Chains A and B, each alone.
Chain A
């Protein structure tokens, strides 16, 4: 038990690796054992993560469950992990979604052993990113997380999986290159990779003594390069328009469980990166004009405004694109662009308060930042649920073409009710969790980026259109001729078991958001101070 007390985060993070080994030593023909065993095993990290949640001291805040040991002394990198109010919810989300995504992988017939092993690997790497407090460690987990995802898409994906997986890994690796460069520059500037040190006034890169001037470039140039490199890497992951085009392909081609993890968790790495690295390490850059003297509507066109602008375009174009799809899964995939745009908008608003001379009120920034973190959690729930439900109907009808469904509610009453519930969660219906986070982001961003917030409402309006379109095309109308003769079975017990926790979580967080916000709020406050 002592191991649990002192190394709780590491135990949570590496337990899935144990699961992976267990899967690998199980004989391949024991598919039921592999599948259900994996699901059962994944409940252990979930339980521990909830324990970590419960044990987190909200009054004190800051990083807790810290672990630190020498790891790579040659380059000053240490094995340092810990969680705060921003990462802890995402750790719990990861552990929560993994078993559910596994339930929706029960139908995997091709080599389930490899599939579930990769799933565990994916969980470990993602958890690693959320708990890492060392830049090298962070980067390592961040990069390795691509590998299992790549194979999940390329081996178990749909018809177009080659193209999609290739595009996915190429995009993200390309973006990571710049981040790796930036990490190196930061390491050389501050002579440390310890994130807690880098966040402090003493260790913050490109301030005080922590300067670099390679090639004789001005230190501010290096700072800008590092900032931009990080931002591109994370923006692509969120994804922010126009760096989003890998997403619809990857999501659409991935197997159901993979899509759930991809949309539910992997996208959050981008938003999380902004919170954990970009905002604390470059607090003043968001308020700097992109080009000296460049201004729009009388206000300087800063990096923060650019981010908010792109966030607005993500919200708007994500909605337009989703509305235009005829492929159910692609529609849901594009909805992520729409929803994650609110995360970006919240980040842009919260970051505006970071500069020392900022006039943005702390309360506005806190609400926007908390809203963005909460939006990551709520989008994790709703998008995972939506992908699961796409999977349910795809498995039965063998088509994702929205024009081919129609009237399915009549023969799948449970599915219809569940789909409407989850779609409404995705739409941001008050009473369910998505509303709270969108409200908070809108509220926080209003005071900072007023015009863009107003414009973003147009995107939010259209969220309604594509959600209702999906419901209508699948459930409403007369029952299609084809399904009259080949009636589709309603959701089975395992599927209900897989989606019910997501629905429950959406409802609970929608009715009582303080449950999550008590922790998130502390984390965002700590960040903004």
Chain B
């Protein structure tokens, strides 16, 4: 296929979902079937175009050096024009594979999952905009359009997290997500304008694959005398965007709350779009990090924040009961793995883990949605047939507020209502148990996803990508003696151990043992439009790891033959300096196998050997740090205390205190003073002004009724404005005829 055709496809690829958004919002918003069909078809169209591009470029060895794409002038800036455009390079190509595939599956899943929701069409409109924005972000060849789509995704996530806008918890989560990521976005915006001011362009290839520009950035000192290079400061500012979007500490707090949205949205946010976009951009700017210095401030910061976040997320996930919340914190933790990998220079490993994670995390979220759906149905079944001692069905419709009366609630019961603590919570794992028999497809696919997340050796994708990170960290840290990498290795190994543990805990609590509630006992398997995406994703969660098997890995290296290190060979051309291939080292592999099996085994020992009985306390509650972990290290409370509350206080009082009581007082004082000074002219004023306003009055009366109204009660005002006019005229003449 010619480069021109590929470029055309790149321009077109994001359009169908974007158009679907417009069409659904403007025209078909009353037709449910039509709207969801339009959305799914648009996504499939996008998928087809993306795949055509991908399978045309996936074997090009020097695509990184010569990305395919095109540009147009967008922003006139003096004599020059800022171009925007589309391009496909190896990193983008891999995303052109993953993003539309995951999105399409999520769309199909949503058709079933959202079928009972009264705002079904609105959901698909937002989802289309979301997917279209992510596609636009992937094909962008410059930071400006990347930022535009980045922010559009922020808006979509805001809208979808707050989809059940009548629920306070939902709109609060939406605002929290928008504002927290906006903190990062402001840093990113600054990084972008700095980069633009410094280089005169925002095109990725022109900046990041250009030794001269990178050297220039590394040589220039940063603004404000910060003592680092411009490259370093720009990299840090841009990394700020990643911290927000990819939920890294200290801006991680929005992601767990983001599950207030319908479950397909969680899959979108946690896998295919939002959080991936943050890492995607960080990977794009990897050459800038390199230019800022191998052991520079930027790299160190990225590595430390990533490692800390990986640890933080993993510890919190251990102590959660909400099935989606466990996954949310595991996302934070896994993103920390990727960021930490970037921080120690493991570019390919980070990209690899991002890809595998997208598949297995989408799978886990959709499967958890299926679980919730099933338990919900069980609950309905129970309360309709009067089995249950819960009398909570009425509370269910009250959650939906007004619209609950219009249509069946659907996903409205997705999250617990925080006003009614006695309501049945279909997301609480303590209410589950024994679901493997009731929901076999969901069970098997969830198990596959879980094992991939835990890094179960050899047969799951998560193992290969996590192992790649360990290999890099081990090599740089313990072989080469880089302190940061060594620290990252230790922290990530610990985090991976916890990951395997909480994953087993989750699987056991959800699927094993006996049902702990009537609802779980009556749960039913989901419809095929929901299980089909699960099966497809499960296949990828198992096998996508084979795109980057190390060449000299025993058995498997030989098995894949020439396919070994496909990903590494493909995307390494993104970098000016090809990363040196690491020699096979058994030690990190043993660690990797050890922590996965160790964590799973521990989880098995605690939760699966003797599954929890109804009413039995979870063993993790015996941990002395349980409350600390269950309350997420109290970050939210801390932020509320040190940021939100003080700012709110300022905002609530500013206009009264400063504007009214200071500025206006001063001006009123000046006005009173002026009035006193001009008192001397009183006689003159009175004569002139009376005459003036009379004349005005006569004039307006002549025009009609309204003239009279202008006069009523306005005398003082007239006097004063007239007074000023007179002074003005006096000054005028004094100057003119001096």
Residues of A at under 8 Å CB distance from B? Answer: 24, 28, 75, 111, 113-114, 151, 154-155, 162, 165-166, 169-171, 173-174, 176-177, 180-181, 184-185, 188, 242, 244-245, 248, 317, 320-321, 323-325, 334, 362-364, 366-367, 370, 407, 409-411, 417, 420, 424, 429-431, 435-436, 439-440, 442-443, 446-447, 450-451, 453-454, 457-458, 460-462, 464-465, 468-469, 472, 475-479, 484, 512-514, 517-518, 521, 525
Question: Which A residue's beta carbon lies closest to that of B670?
Answer: A174
Chain A neighbourhood of B402, CB < 8 A: 407, 410-411, 478-479, 484
> Contact: B76 with A518, CB < 8 Å?
yes
Residues of B at under 8 Å CB distance from A? Answer: 25, 73-80, 144, 147-152, 155, 158-159, 162, 165-166, 168, 171, 174-175, 178-179, 182-183, 186-187, 189-190, 193-194, 196-197, 200, 223-224, 401-403, 647-648, 650-655, 658-660, 663-664, 667, 671, 703-706, 709-710, 713-714, 717, 720-721, 724-725, 727-728, 731-732, 735-736
Smallest CB–CB gap between B154 and chain A, Å? Answer: 8
Smallest CB–CB gap between A175 and chain B, Å? Answer: 11
Chain B neighbourhood of A151, CB < 8 A: 710
Most buried by A among B25, B178, B659, B731: B659
> Contact: B735 with A181, CB < 8 Å?
yes
A-B contact pairs, 12 of them (CB 8 A): A170-B724, A244-B659, A321-B654, A407-B165, A430-B147, A453-B190, A461-B179, A469-B175, A476-B166, A476-B171, A477-B171, A521-B78
Smallest CB–CB gap between A436 and chain B, Å? Answer: 7
Which 9 pairs show the lowest CB-CB distances between chains A and B?
A: A114-B706, A430-B148, A366-B78, A323-B651, A324-B651, A476-B171, A443-B193, A321-B655, A476-B165
> Contact: B401 with A478, CB < 8 Å?
yes
> Contact: A446 with B171, CB < 8 Å?
no
> Contact: B178 with A464, CB < 8 Å?
yes
> Contact: B653 with A477, CB < 8 Å?
no
How distant is the Cα of A429 from the Cα of B153 in the complex, in angstroms? 10
> Contact: B75 with A514, CB < 8 Å?
yes
Candidates A429, A454, A477; contact of B168 at CB < 8 Å: A477
Task: Decide yes or no: A162 and B171 within 8 Å by CB, A324-B652, A429-B155 being known contacts.
Answer: no
Smallest CB–CB gap between B505 and chain A, Å? Answer: 35
Chain B neighbourhood of A367, CB < 8 A: 77-78
Smallest CB–CB gap between B658 and chain A, Å? Answer: 7
Interface Cβ pair total, 8 Å cutoff:
200
Candidates A155, A410, A435; contact of B709 at CB < 8 Å: A155
Most buried by A among B647, B652, B655: B655
How distant is the Cα of A424 from the Cα of B158 in the complex, in angstroms? 12
Chain B neighbourhood of A431, CB < 8 A: 148, 151-152
Other than the given A155-B710, A447-B197, A457-B190, 16 more pairs (CB < 8 A) read A28-B704, A28-B705, A155-B709, A169-B717, A170-B671, A181-B731, A321-B651, A324-B652, A324-B654, A370-B77, A411-B402, A431-B151, A450-B223, A461-B186, A476-B165, A525-B78
Task: Decide yes or no: A439 and B193 within 8 Å by CB, A321-B655, A513-B74 being known contacts.
Answer: yes
Chain A neighbourhood of B193, CB < 8 A: 439, 442-443, 446, 453
Smallest CB–CB gap between A401 and chain B, Å? Answer: 15
> Contact: B664 with A245, CB < 8 Å?
yes
Question: Which A residue's beta carbon lies closest to that of B164?
Answer: A476
> Contact: B76 with A75, CB < 8 Å?
no
> Contact: B155 with A424, CB < 8 Å?
yes
Task: Decide yes or no: A24 and B75 within 8 Å by CB, A177-B728, A477-B166 being known contacts.
Answer: no
Most buried by A among B186, B223, B671, B704: B186
Chain A neighbourhood of B724, CB < 8 A: 170, 173-174, 177
> Contact: A184 with B735, CB < 8 Å?
yes
Chain A neighbourhood of B224, CB < 8 A: 450-451
> Contact: A363 with B653, CB < 8 Å?
no
How distant is the Cα of A386 from the Cα of B696 in the complex, in angstroms? 35
How distant is the Cα of A420 from the Cα of B25 in the complex, in angstroms? 13
Question: Which A residue's beta carbon lies closest to that of B703?
Answer: A24
Interface of B: prevailing SS: helix
How distant is the Cα of A28 from the Cα of B704 in the complex, in angstroms? 9
> Contact: A517 with B76, CB < 8 Å?
yes
How distant is the Cα of A404 from the Cα of B652 in the complex, in angstroms? 18
Chain A neighbourhood of B178, CB < 8 A: 464, 468
Candidates B158, B401, B651, B736; contact of A410 at CB < 8 Å: B401
How distant is the Cα of A177 from the Cα of B190 in the complex, in angstroms? 40
Chain B neighbourhood of A181, CB < 8 A: 731, 735
> Contact: B77 with A111, CB < 8 Å?
no
> Contact: B654 with A320, CB < 8 Å?
yes
Candidates A362, A409, A517, A525; contact of B75 at CB < 8 Å: A517
Chain B neighbourhood of A517, CB < 8 A: 75-76
> Contact: B654 with A176, CB < 8 Å?
no
How distant is the Cα of A174 from the Cα of B668 in the complex, in angstroms? 13
Question: Which B residue's beta carbon lies closest to that of A180?
Answer: B728
How distant is the Cα of A245 from the Cα of B182 in the complex, in angstroms? 29
Task: Decide yes or no: A317 and B80 within 8 Å by CB, A170-B720, A174-B724, A184-B736 being known contacts.
Answer: no
Chain A neighbourhood of B703, CB < 8 A: 24
Task: Decide yes or no: A176 and B728 within 8 Å by CB, A111-B706, A324-B651, A366-B77 being known contacts.
Answer: yes
Candidates A180, A317, A334; contact of B732 at CB < 8 Å: A180
Candidates A155, A417, A479, A521; contact of B166 at CB < 8 Å: A479
> Contact: B717 with A162, CB < 8 Å?
yes
Chain A neighbourhood of B710, CB < 8 A: 151, 155
Chain B neighbourhood of A28, CB < 8 A: 704-705
Chain A neighbourhood of B151, CB < 8 A: 429-431, 435
Candidates B196, B401, B650; contact of A320 at CB < 8 Å: B650
Chain A neighbourhood of B654, CB < 8 A: 317, 320-321, 324
Task: Decide yes or no: A460 and B186 within 8 Å by CB, A24-B703, A317-B654, A320-B651 being known contacts.
Answer: yes
> Contact: A184 with B223, CB < 8 Å?
no
Smallest CB–CB gap between B107 and chain A, Å? Answer: 22
> Contact: A475 with B165, CB < 8 Å?
yes
> Contact: B709 with A429, CB < 8 Å?
no
Smallest CB–CB gap between A327 and chain B, Å? Answer: 10
Task: Decide yes or no: A464 and B190 within 8 Å by CB, A166-B720, A443-B197 being known contacts.
Answer: no
Candidates A366, A430, A457, A475; contact of B186 at CB < 8 Å: A457
Chain B neighbourhood of A174, CB < 8 A: 724
Chain B neighbourhood of A324, CB < 8 A: 650-655
